[in-house]
């Protein structure tokens, strides 16, 4: 596996060196890892004299507005027609790029296509796939890639990549955090990434409406047979005036529960139900998410179920109970 990964790194370097005009795509429902990785890579590519733009077909989180070049992110397609490299970061599946992935067979046929990702469920959909499930964040992989390209990690790139690592490890608290994660974070900090400012912006910068929404969600918290769950409805969001992404932190609060096997958050959208899953040791929620067409990591995964809230809860909770009871 290590051999294959270094071969892929060499292939990625060859692809990038041959390119002149790149686009880097971040996934929908963007987080610090996808945006930090995409921006860090784009800044590195520009340092090598290439044109590089970041696209993300979704609303961008305001608490990441401190990221260098955040204001240049394009939130709508189409991609420029003369692009010769497309890099897809932090997503296991091409549909995670939303409207940008429509006609994606087209852009992958026309341009060199590179996927950099750390999800175990990655479908290896690009010509070259840098997939490393042992990386705590895609930002770790981008750090290695920029190193292989000979890019000088300046304070702007360091800020992007440290934000990626801090957010995906929830402040170095996940089991995915390794000595390598911490070593990379230390190097990024030394290169000028302001760790305290990043933590402040990401974790201590919440709108009043966010905590009001969390309060409503926690009021509905239930637990049965080691599985805790709650929901956020459109009516709850309207009641406090919160946007859909303000419910994002609820799953982390739920994961702090003791003596549970798994936790599930069900969020109502006009199209159906977004399900977020987290688990404690040994229980693989990515398999549960995959059963419903989603994916993720063994301890953090998600899926989308068309239809109403009650039906989605019944299906997922029943399947979770079955998996949890299995030897």
Which stretches of the chain bind Mn ion, using CB under 5 A?
33, 90, 138, 168
Nearer to Mn ion, 58 or 168 (CB): 168
* 22 SS3 class: strand
Cβ 91 to Mn ion, closest distance in Å? Answer: 9
Cβ 137 to Mn ion, closest distance in Å? Answer: 5
| Region label for 81, one of left (φ > 0), alpha (ψ between -120 and 50) or beta (otherwise) | alpha
Cβ 36 to Mn ion, closest distance in Å? Answer: 9
Nearer to Mn ion, 90 or 284 (CB): 90
Q: Is the dihedral of CA 16, 17, 18, 20 positive or negative?
A: positive
Residue nearest to Mn ion as judged by C-beta position: 33
DSSP per-residue codes, 296-315: E-SSEEEEEEES-HHHHHHH
Q: Is the dihedral of CA 55, 58, 63, 65 positive or negative?
A: positive
The residues, ordered by sequence, that sit 6+ positions from 107 with a Cβ below 8 Å of its Cβ are: 79, 83, 86, 113
Cβ atoms of residues 169 and 36 within 8 Å? no
- CA trace torsion 64, 247, 257, 171 (10° rounding): 0
Nearer to Mn ion, 22 or 131 (CB): 131
Nearer to Mn ion, 89 or 217 (CB): 89
Cβ 136 to Mn ion, closest distance in Å? Answer: 8
Nearer to Mn ion, 33 or 53 (CB): 33
Q: Rounded to whole angstroms, how far apart are CA atoms 161 and 138?
A: 9
Q: Rounded to whole angstroms, how far apart are CA atoms 217 and 277?
A: 15
Nearer to Mn ion, 174 or 233 (CB): 174
Cβ 135 to Mn ion, closest distance in Å? Answer: 8
Nearer to Mn ion, 61 or 111 (CB): 61
Cβ 308 to Mn ion, closest distance in Å? Answer: 30
Cβ 12 to Mn ion, closest distance in Å? Answer: 17
Cβ atoms of residues 120 and 133 within 8 Å? yes
Q: Which of 167, 169, 131 has the alpha carbon at shortest distance from 295?
A: 131
The side-by-side arrangement of strands in the sheet containing 51-55 is 51-55, 21-25, 85-89, 112-117, 128-131
Q: Rounded to whole angstroms, how far apart are CA atoms 292 and 211?
A: 30
Cβ 315 to Mn ion, closest distance in Å? Answer: 26
Nearer to Mn ion, 104 or 138 (CB): 138
């Amino acid at each position: 596996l290590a051999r294959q990964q270094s071969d892929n790194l060499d292939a990625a370097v060859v692809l990038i060196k041959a390119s002149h005009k790149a686009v880097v795509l971040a996934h929908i429902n963007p987080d610090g890892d996808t945006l930090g990785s995409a921006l860090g890579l784009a800044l590195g590519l520009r340092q090598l004299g290439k044109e590089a733009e970041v696209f993300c077909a979704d609303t961008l989180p305001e608490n990441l507005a401190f990221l260098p070049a955040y204001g240049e992110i394009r939130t709508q397609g189409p991609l420029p027609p003369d692009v010769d490299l497309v890099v897809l970061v932090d997503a296991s599946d091409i549909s995670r790029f939303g409207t940008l992935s429509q006609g994606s067979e087209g852009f992958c046929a026309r341009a060199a296509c590179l996927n950099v990702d750390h999800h175990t469920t990655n479908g290896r959909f690009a010509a070259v796939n840098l997939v490393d499930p042992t990386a705590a964040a895609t930002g770790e992989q981008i750090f290695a890639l920029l190193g292989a390209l000979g890019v000088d990690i300046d304070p702007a790139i360091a800020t992007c990549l440290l934000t990626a690592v801090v957010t995906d490890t929830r402040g170095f608290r996940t089991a995915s955090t390794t000595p390598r994660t911490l070593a990379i974070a230390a190097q990024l900090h030394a290169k000028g990434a302001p760790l305290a400012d990043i933590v402040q912006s990401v974790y201590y910068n919440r709108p009043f409406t966010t905590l009001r929404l969390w309060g409503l969600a926690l009021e509905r918290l239930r637990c049965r047979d080691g599985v805790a769950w709650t929901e956020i409805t459109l009516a709850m969001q309207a009641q406090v005036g919160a946007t859909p992404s303000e419910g994002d932190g609820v799953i982390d609060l739920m994961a702090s529960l003791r003596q549970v096997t798994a936790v599930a958050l069900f969020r109502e959208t006009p199209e159906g139900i977004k399900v977020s899953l987290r688990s404690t040791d040994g229980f693989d929620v990515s398999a549960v998410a995959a059963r419903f067409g989603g994916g993720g990591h063994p301890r953090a995964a998600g899926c989308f179920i068309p239809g109403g809230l009650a039906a989605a809860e019944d299906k997922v909770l029943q399947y979770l109970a079955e998996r949890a009871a299995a030897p």
